[in-house]
Amino acid sequence: MFKLANIIKYKPLIIALWFGLSLFAVGKSVVLGHSHIHNNYFVYKYNFINVIHQHNLYQHQPEHYFDLNHYGPIFSFIIAPFALMPDSLGVVLWVMFTAFILLIAIQQLPIKKNHSLLIVLLCAHELMTSAANVQINPLIAALILFSYIFIKNENDFWAALMIALGTFIKLYGIVGLAFFFFSNNKLKLVGSFIFWSVILFVLPMVISSPAFIVQTYKDWYADLVHKNLNNIASIREDVSVMGMLRKIFFPQLSNMFVLFPGILLFALSYIRIKSFNNLNYQLLIVASTLIFPVIFSTGSESPTYIIAFVGVAVWYINSERPVTILDISLLIFALILTSLSPSDLFPRYLKDHYVDPYALKALPCFLIWIKIIYETLFRKFDKKDLIAVAV
């Protein structure tokens, strides 16, 4: 019988699968010359170019890409090395870079090596979906994980950079502050966050101008407000709990009727103060933090779920042993409906007539998130529950 401990024997195969699926997804479109699939990459590329030339980052540029840029000006520094390359090379290396950063973050979690490999295996297909759409989300997931990892290792200065960088790129990174209570030096974390926020605000001025960057942040705010309104009417976006409820039951449902209870439940997870130093409890909060901004955001699309699915995998490896039928069922449900539904392995009729129109990709992650909240409130945490850190 297969034992989880034996998964370490398959490490080369799992790592090859992690990079291979993503490389196949992006490489196929490059080889076939389907450059329109790389629209997100062109959005990223012109974030850098527009900062350099001081063009409004949030206006339509149909001569270069469709859709709009929704990322902060600091992202221009991240994408710059790839933007300077030929497009066919830059897009492939960008996808490989984001896959690599997320892999490193998963491997740095304070868990056993076989558990980290299981996370990689469980998330490989979801990463492929992100890669096929040349998404930034694996990087955002990595920054959230690094926020926790640095706090866990008492490197609050660098944890603050991860939180600030994620926030200044795509706002999602602000959820890294959820790990604030795990810090042993909270004043240093707060001071470092303020320091890095100032640095990241000012840094784009080096390659542009102060006046332009200040205006850019004003434009970014207006863009995000406008995007939120448009997301609600979109089938491709609003793959969230609110979107699911709107598309199935209540077309006029206000976000706040769902978001406010969600925030309250998330906050309720912190009432067990005595468990703050328990690794199992912390990993539940990590899983919850990765899932929450995806399932409660109107901007979530199918490729965004690489962030949430890492949370699903972290929750599963942290489940109480022996694993219950309920936990296994929830994981299988997530693998089928969340991870496999965008692929050709999933029945096209169900995808086109049910999963996409009703934002059902959010359902398994929502159910798992509710289970995580329940565990943070009622699970018994003691020494025998601790996950041993691999040396």
pLDDT tens, residue by residue, 224-265: 888 777 766 555 678 999 999 999 999 889 999 999 999 999
pLDDT tens, residue by residue, 150-178: 999 999 999 999 999 999 999 899 999 99
Sequence length of the chain is 391
Cβ neighbors of 224 (< 8 A, separation 6 or more) are 70, 171
Stronger pLDDT, 229 or 58, i.e. the higher one: 58
pLDDT for res 237 = 75
pLDDT for res 388 = 38
pLDDT tens, residue by residue, 307-340: 999 999 999 999 998 899 999 999 999 999 999 9
* Cα–Cα distance for residue pair 201/199, rounded to 1 Å: 5
Stronger pLDDT, 141 or 383, i.e. the higher one: 141
Q: C-alpha 125: how far from its chain's center?
A: 15
pLDDT tens, residue by residue, 194-210: 999 999 999 999 999 99
364: nearest Cα among 317, 260, 298, 294: 294
CB atoms within 10 A of CB 347: 12
* Cα–Cα distance for residue pair 331/328, rounded to 1 Å: 5
pLDDT for res 31 = 86
If pLDDT is split at 50, 70 and 90, which confidence band does 286 have? Answer: very high
Sign of CA dihedral 345, 346, 347, 348: negative
- In the structure encoding, which two tokens stand for residue 121, read together? 């295996």
Distances (CA, A) of 45 to 56, 156, 212, 352: 14, 31, 18, 32
pLDDT for res 319 = 93
* Residue 387 pLDDT > 50: no
Q: Are 152 and 110 in contact (CB under 8 A)?
A: yes
| 110: preceding bond cis by omega (within 30 degrees) | no
If pLDDT is split at 50, 70 and 90, which confidence band does 35 have? Answer: low
Phi-psi region of 33 (alpha: psi -120 to 50; beta: other; left: phi over 0): left
- DSSP letters, 287-334, are HHHHHHHHHT-TT--GGGHHHHHHHHHHHHHTS-SSPPHHHHHHHHHI
Spell out the alpha helix ranges (H) of the chain. Answer: 11-31, 39-53, 75-83, 87-107, 113-132, 137-152, 156-170, 186-202, 210-231, 241-248, 256-268, 279-295, 305-317, 325-333, 348-350, 362-378
Q: Are 308 and 290 in contact (CB under 8 A)?
A: yes
pLDDT for res 391 = 24
- In the structure encoding, which two tokens stand for residue 112, read together? 């056993």
* Residue 185 pLDDT > 60: yes
* Cα–Cα distance for residue pair 311/314, rounded to 1 Å: 5
pLDDT for res 132 = 92
- In the structure encoding, which two tokens stand for residue 339, read together? 């991870």
Give first-to-last CA distance, the chain, whole Å.
26
CA angle, residues 104, 108, 113, in degrees to nearest 5: 100
pLDDT tens, residue by residue, 59-68: 999 888 888 8
